[in-house]
């Protein structure tokens, strides 16, 4: 049964690309994206993310499975399903002789938005392109074009916005501007689906994350729960004096040297060993000149999950 409370809900979604060597890009995916979430969709290149998004956008025909967008079945009610989403693609594709104003007006017309309900001026101001509203799109910088794509995806006020690698290749200032706007949209009730290779962005922004690998969903959890999969963090001690061996006071800990003068201790994220570590520092007789911690981040989890999946595939072969 498909979850009608989800913004996007798929069951058994499969895509096989034909040809001499058929490729099974999606292998019966089941996935629910909750309404009102800021949802991260991650995976290595070739994992199936773009195929998944293109099916939702109506650009690729699925081989099998059921898809609902905002409660509308993609097969029986394709118009309402597609009107319920806006997609910001990776590629910067524009008509070189349209201005931003004209582009948004044409897009709104294609979605049947009456002139008195169009938000062209509001959107151009929101993405900071008001001053460029009458410039040909070919004269815009890459960052401006990226912002224009966001505005274009929002002309019909969709309840779901899909951002496919929206900050790829843009500078830090523009990335921050885009994320500030994404947060505003999310706070106003828009469901956001984000794909990105910048894992620190997904960790900071997304309340829930799914990881796709080899056409399958290998993880789908709240971000905090996903990060707790590896219950470890490291404490790095610097003594200011070269160490040749682990000091005897730290013999009971999981430790390794970090030349020339460092010692790395692995402990649980809950910090159960902190008191014992402080005691060992006092007992070791060496002055500590620096102490820092390194906690598990999304990149660690991502690499572990995708590596495990690769090993399973290799064994299956």
Indicate if 83 and 199 belong to the same structural domain: yes
Indicate if 204 and 59 belong to the same structural domain: yes
Residue 122 domain flag: yes
What's the token pair of residue 103?
């582009």
Range of the domain at 222: 6-226
Indicate if 174 and 37 belong to the same structural domain: yes
**How many structural domains compose the chain?**
2
Q: What is the pLDDT of residue 308?
A: 58
Residue 314 domain flag: no
Residue 101 domain flag: yes
Residue 287 domain flag: yes
Q: What is the pLDDT of residue 2?
A: 42
Indicate if 85 and 191 belong to the same structural domain: yes
Q: What is the pLDDT of residue 269?
A: 62
End-of-domain residue from the set 226, 247, 266 = 226
Q: What is the pLDDT of residue 317?
A: 45
**CATH classification of the domain holding 238:** 3.30.70
Indicate if 239 and 206 belong to the same structural domain: no
pTM of the model: 0.76
Residue 316 domain flag: no
Residue 42 domain flag: yes
End-of-domain residue from the set 203, 226, 249 = 226
Indicate if 172 and 255 belong to the same structural domain: no
pLDDT tens digit at each of 317 positions of the chain? 344 489 999 999 999 998 778 899 999 999 999 999 999 999 888 889 999 999 999 899 999 999 999 999 999 999 999 999 999 988 877 788 899 999 999 999 999 999 999 999 999 998 899 999 999 988 998 888 888 999 999 999 999 999 998 877 677 887 888 888 889 999 999 999 999 877 788 888 999 999 998 899 999 999 888 877 666 678 899 998 899 899 999 988 888 899 999 999 887 766 557 888 889 989 988 889 998 877 666 677 777 777 755 444 444 44
Indicate if 162 and 268 belong to the same structural domain: no
Q: What is the pLDDT of residue 295?
A: 63
Residue 308 domain flag: no
Indicate if 153 and 291 belong to the same structural domain: no
Indicate if 138 and 254 belong to the same structural domain: no
Indicate if 247 and 114 belong to the same structural domain: no
End-of-domain residue from the set 188, 211, 226 = 226
Residue 317 domain flag: no
**CATH classification of the domain holding 163:** 3.40.50.300
Q: What is the pLDDT of residue 160?
A: 97
Indicate if 107 and 160 belong to the same structural domain: yes
Indicate if 165 and 35 belong to the same structural domain: yes
């Amino acid at each position: 049964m498909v979850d009608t409370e989800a913004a996007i809900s798929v069951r058994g979604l499969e895509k096989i690309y034909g040809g001499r060597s058929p490729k099974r890009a999606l292998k019966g995916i089941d996935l629910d994206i909750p309404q009102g979430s800021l949802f991260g969709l991650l995976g290595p290149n070739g994992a199936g993310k773009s195929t998944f998004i293109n099916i939702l956008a109506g650009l690729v025909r699925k081989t099998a499975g059921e898809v609902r967008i905002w409660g509308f079945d993609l097969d029986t009610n394709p118009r309402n399903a597609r009107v319920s989403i806006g997609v910001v693609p990776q590629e910067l594709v524009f008509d070189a002789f349209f201005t931003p104003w004209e582009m948004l007006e044409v897009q709104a017309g294609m979605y049947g938005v009456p002139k008195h309900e169009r938000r062209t001026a509001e959107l151009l101001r929101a993405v900071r392109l008001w001053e460029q509203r009458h410039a040909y799109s070919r004269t815009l910088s890459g960052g401006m074009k990226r912002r224009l794509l966001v505005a274009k995806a929002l002309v019909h006020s969709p309840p779901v916005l899909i951002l496919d690698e929206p900050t790829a290749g843009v500078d830090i200032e523009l990335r921050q501007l885009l994320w500030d706007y994404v947060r505003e949209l999310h706070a106003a009730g828009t469901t956001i689906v984000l794909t990105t290779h910048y894992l620190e962005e997904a960790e900071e922004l997304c309340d829930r994350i799914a990881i796709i690998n080899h056409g399958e969903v290998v993880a789908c959890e709240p971000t905090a729960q996903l990060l707790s999969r590896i219950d470890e963090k490291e404490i790095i001690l610097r003594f200011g004096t070269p160490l040749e061996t682990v000091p005897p006071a730290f013999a009971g800990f999981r430790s390794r040297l970090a030349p020339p003068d460092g010692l790395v201790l692995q402990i649980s994220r809950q910090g159960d060993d902190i008191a014992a570590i402080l005691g060992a520092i006092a007992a070791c007789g060496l002055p500590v000149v620096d102490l820092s911690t390194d906690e598990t981040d999304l990149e660690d989890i991502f690499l572990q999950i995708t590596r495990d999946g690769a090993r399973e595939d290799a064994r299956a072969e």
